[in-house]
Structures are given as structure tokens and as C-alpha cells.
Amino acid sequence: MRRAGDALRRRYGNRQLKQLNWGMKGLLSRLSVAVIVLLICTVSLLTTTKGNNRSVQRLQVSADQLWGTADSDGWRPSSAPRSDWPPPPVESNGYLRVRCNGGLNQQRSAICNAVLAARIMNATLVLPELDANSFWHDDSGFHGIYDVGHFIKSLRYDVRIVEKLPEIHGNGKIKKMKAYQLRPPRDAPISWYTTVALEKMKEHGAIYLTPFSHRLAEEIDNPEYQRLRCRVNYHALRFKPHIMKLSSSIVSKLRAQGHFMAIHLRFEMDMLAFAGCLDIFTPKEQLILKKYRKENFAEKKLVYSERRAIGKCPLTPEEVGLILRAMGFDNSTRIYLAAGELFGGKRFIKPFRTLFPHLENHNTVLPTEELAESKQGLLGSAVDYMVCLLSDIFMPTYDGPSNFANNLMGHRLYYGFRTTIQPDRKALAPIFIDRENGKTSGFEEAIRRVMFNLKFGGPHKRVHPESFYTNSWPECFCQTLSKDPADQCPPENVMEILNTGLHSEETDSSEPISRSNVTDSLLGK
């Protein structure tokens, strides 16, 4: 039988056959490219479809689903040490005094830093002083806000704490120890405390750090130090019983009719002046804001339209209401407003109240006599803090420099990934600007597209400028079934080992002690 090649050669000749072969190869090559392009397009289409499906799913999230906690992805809070953590030595290097300035939550962060600084320097911490500043006009002090006994007992495995500097006895005289005053650099590194501060402590026996706000770097490459901050913040710092009782009473009354949401409505004079968002106010109101800004903030030219376009202005009460309605919350939703006096009077709160008539605050939930001693200054802020912490949903309308909102978001994350709705003001700004210019088509869908693309209080990577106090994940969290040793939860049966270690340190400070971890649940008790 003759081969097919011989027949083709006879019919076309060698030269023509070569041309035919090259043509067939070209055709095959073009077909291969076409197939590859088709596959790429198919994959791209499938990916796009999946992405669109996810977007549709996000848009279809029911408001009812948000009343529960966020997805934890298997994580749970745990601030217990996970490596050897020696007890504080009986003999310290000296005493550390600090004066915590600012509002309640700025002071709270400062207290956490003070405990950590004492641990770093092997110092005995004197109960932190709370600044009775000009804004709060409040001299409650640590004793008036926090449970001192609980604070000292909770941190007994970490630092030694005394309520005041000791008296010095000598030559038949008794005098109070004086602390050498130092002004720490802002966001000082650990090395500053182990050199400059420690040297002065050893020289004078005691140092006094003032002011003490943001005076220790937040990002420290030592997870055990970060976990100590969490033990202070979320376990040791417990408000006094009457504050807890009042907060519990408010929460019980709000929850008597079902779920409730807490909103930190930061539409207040100081924040508006700081942001430079003046144009929506009357000429008289603008003068007030300009005066406040001049007296309290650095001079800087701020253009309202530019600030608004990039999301630097606090959301108005009406904008907050429109966001919630677009997300599916109806007018039966109970809302607790944790805010100072709203600037601009009733005309700004009226549209919000029209959308959500069940707005509550201190004065509407409890009788005046029950609030008499707790509605002002640090006490009032403490009550608002607890109500927001215990609410089913928390919504800060302006994080920015707001220590209240930032600390609460971190506490709610630690408290079991409780739902937090954090509006992306930069993404929302053009949507609201279009609405003001008459472009209302697709308004609610555009709002949902932004709002349902959030974590809602679930675990997420901390990215600058997010504060450690806003997001202590992953240092202060663990996974029970994690294969990574760094993420594994500490064992449960360690409390008596800790007690033994502490007792051994007190009776024989020279004896080396090997200790395990303390459970997160036990640290606050």
C-alpha cells in the first residue's frame, strides 16, 4: 500500500507540499491561540460572575443578621501569657508615678502604658493620676472611676502597685518621698525607659512622668508586652460598682423591647472645628467654630468642599439616618446616642429623629435623680462607654482622633467580635454629594455597596494608622485548633501554678521559677 505522503508528493510536488504543511501548522497555531483566549475569557467571566455574586450577597445581607456577633473565623480573645512570664520581683528598681492627661479613654490608654512601662523597668507602679483637665472639670480621680482593689489584684502577676509613694524614715524624721519629674518623648521606644528613665529612677528612687499620654510606642515587637496591655485594658480596668449598676440599668431598659444600637454621634463643636467643616452652619455658628479652632488647634487653611470630598467631615445626623435606612433598619430600631451636645441645635437632629423616632440618651432612659452624680465629666463618659460596649450594635460616626470610638471598637472586638458598623466616610462622601446635587437614582444601592463591604467587627489585620487599642488582633486572640504555636490558646489549668510562682518569689526571690500561662478568663477575676 502506498503511503499518503507519496500520493501527495506526486499530486502537488515537494515544494507545494511544504507550503501546505506550513499552512496547516499556522492554522493549528492560530486555533491554539484562539482556544487559550477562549479559556482566559471563560475564567475571567466566571471570576467576574463570582465577584458579582459576592457583591449581590453582600447587598442582600439582612439588617437582622447584624444584631448577632461578627464571624470570628475560629478566633477567641486571650490575653494570657504564652511563654515564661516571671512574677514581679519583691525588690523593684524604684517607684513610677504618672499623670494621665486627656479624656477618659485617652487616660485609659495611658494607664495601660503605665503598667507596661513599670513592667519594662522592673518598677513599682504608684496608682496612676487622672488629670482634672479644663475640658472635663472633673476631679474624680482613679478612685472615683475605677475599682482600685480589683485593679491591683488583677495585675498581681504582672507588676506591683501601691496607692501612694512611701514615707521615708531617717534621723527621727518622717518625710514623703519625692519623685524626679521627667517629660517622656511622644511614642517613646522601650529603650528610652530602660536607659534614661531607669537611670533617673535608680538615682532618685522614684520618677514622675508627666504628661503621660501617647508616651510609649504602640507597635512593640513583643506579643507578651502587647498582651499585658490587653490584660490591663479589658480585665483590670473595671469601673466602680455604682457606674456598672447604672450602665446595667440603662442597658436593661433599652433591651426590654428587643435589640438596641448605640451610636457615637460625633457632631460636636470640638470635632467640627477640628475638621474645619463650617459651611453648613449659620454665620453666627461659623464664628463660634472658628473661634474654638483658633484657641485649640494649630492654624491651617481648610476648605470645606475639599475636606468634605475626601471624607474628613463628621457625618451629619441625617446622613447617619440615611445610611441605616439604606442598610435595612426600619423606624422601630431603638438607638442610644452617646454624644455630647450636638452643635447646631434641633434642626440637625430633627431629620434623624424623623427616620428613627426611638432615639434615647441619658436623660430619656433614666430619671434625673438616678443620673445626678453620673451624667457629667468622666463619670458620664464611663456610663456611655459601658452602654456602647454592651449594645448589640455599635456605630461610631467619626473615628479619626476619637479615643472613645477607637477604644470601644477594640473592646468590642475583644468582647467577642460584637458587631460594629464603621462607615467609610471617604467612600460615602461622593454619594452624599451627588444626592445634594439632585442625583438620587441608585442612592441606597450605592450606600449598601459601601456599607456591606465591611468586617462588622470581625478579626482583621491591623494596618497603620489603625491603633493597637482599636485592633489588638492577633496578639490578644488565639485559635484552639491552630497549628501555628504563636496562635495556640494557653492551657486552662495554670492558676495555681501562677499562685505558687508568686508565693515562691515572695519567699525566695533568688529561686528560678518556671511557670505556664494564665487563662484569659481568670485574669480579670
Residue with cell 510536488: 13
Alpha-carbon distances of 246 from 130, 373, 377, 382, 408, rounded to whole Å: 22, 11, 15, 10, 18
Q: What is the mean pLDDT of residues 101-105?
A: 88
Overall average pLDDT of the 202-224 stretch: 96
pTM of the model: 0.82
Predicted pLDDT at 117: 98
Decide if 208 contacts 94 (C-beta within 8 A).
no
Q: Tell me: pLDDT of 215 over 50.
A: yes
Question: Residues near 391 by Cβ (< 8 Å), separated by ≥ 6?
Answer: 251, 254, 260, 261, 262, 336, 418
User: Which residue shows C-alpha cell 480596668?
Assistant: 237
Bridge partners for 75 per DSSP: 479
Which range is least confidently modeled, 5-19, 345-359, 384-398, 429-443?
A: 5-19
Mean pLDDT lowest among 16-25, 113-122, 389-398: 16-25
Hey, where are the domains in the chain? Answer: 95-236, 241-490
Cβ distance 118 to 159 under 8 Å? yes
Phi and psi at 170, nearest 5°, equal -170, 140
Does residue 10 have a pLDDT over 80? no
Query: Amino acid letter at 86?
Result: P
d(Cα 127, Cα 114) in Å, to the nearest integer?
9
Domain 241-490 belongs to what architecture? 3-Layer(aba) Sandwich (3.40)
Query: In terms of pLDDT, which residue wins out, 223 or 510?
Result: 223
What letters, b where the CB count within 10 A reaches 16 and e where it falls short, cover 132-166? ebeebebebbbeebbbbebbbebbebbbbbeeebe
Report the pLDDT value the prediction gives residue 352, as an integer from 0 to 100: 97
**Hey, which residues does 170 pair with through a beta bridge?**
173
Q: Are 212 and 101 in contact (CB under 8 A)?
A: yes
Residue pLDDT, tens place only, 158-212: 999 999 999 887 777 788 899 999 999 999 999 999 999 999 999 999 999 999 9
Angle of helix 443-451 relative to helix 4-59, nearest 10 degrees? Answer: 100
279-337: pLDDT as tens digits: 999 999 999 999 999 999 998 889 999 999 999 999 999 999 999 999 999 999 999 99
pLDDT score recorded for residue 315: 95
Q: Tell me 184's DSSP state.
A: P
Can you list the positions of beta strands (E) in 11-134?
Answer: 75-77, 95-100, 124-126, 129-130
Peptide bond into 465 cis (omega under 30): yes
14 or 475, higher pLDDT: 475
Residue 268 has φ and ψ, to the nearest 5°, of -120, 160
User: What pLDDT is recorded for position 167?
Assistant: 87
Q: What mean pLDDT comes out for the span 396-408?
A: 84
Length of the chain: 525
